């Protein structure tokens, strides 16, 4: 959505503790992302492996952008293969979108 007065993009997420009612992308997203990264390390319950892969891939996409490494050479390195495929699956997603999704996922895991 865009603010009609300023033309700036914002996101409205009711009830989400990481967001105010309107988040202007250029202002607070990096700080919210960094806080979510810190919070992800202190979750009371360990997330499932699928959720951990989602957190990993969103973090990599948010911090590095599209995947830029070769797939794992060892066909029996299932963990590296899963991480590679999870990150590769986000190709084309902007860093900002990945940050937003990461923050939302950590918020969901905290509740």
Domain harbouring 31, CATH code? 1.20.80.10
Domain count, the chain: 1
- The angle, 0 to 180 degrees and rounded to 10, between the axes of the packed helices 25-40 and 95-110 is 50
Residue 4: pLDDT band with limits 50, 70, 90: low
Domain range holding 64? 27-110
* Each residue's pLDDT tens digit, 6-56: 555 555 454 555 554 444 554 589 999 999 999 999 999 999 999 999 999
Q: State the Cα–Cα distance between residues 40 and 34, nearest whole angstrom.
A: 10
Contact in structure between 91 and 67 (CB atoms under 8 Å)? yes
**Rounded to an integer, what distance in angstroms lies between the CA atom of residue 83 and that of residue 71?**
10
pLDDT tens digits, one per residue of 48-105: 999 999 999 999 999 999 999 999 999 999 999 999 999 999 999 999 999 999 999 9
Do 58 and 102 form a contact (C-beta atoms < 8 A)? yes
Is 82 part of any domain?
yes
């Amino acid at each position: 959505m865009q603010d009609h007065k300023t033309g700036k993009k914002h996101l409205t997420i009711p009830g989400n503790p990481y967001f105010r009612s309107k988040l202007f992308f250029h202002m607070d997203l990096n700080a919210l992302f960094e806080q979510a990264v810190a919070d992800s390390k202190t979750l009371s319950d360990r997330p499932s492996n699928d959720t951990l892969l989602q957190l990993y891939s969103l973090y990599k996409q948010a911090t590095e952008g599209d995947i830029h490494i070769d797939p794992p050479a060892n066909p029996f390195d299932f963990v590296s293969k899963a991480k590679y495929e999870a990150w590769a699956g986000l190709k084309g997603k902007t860093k900002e979108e990945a940050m937003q999704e990461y923050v939302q996922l950590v918020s969901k895991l905290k509740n």
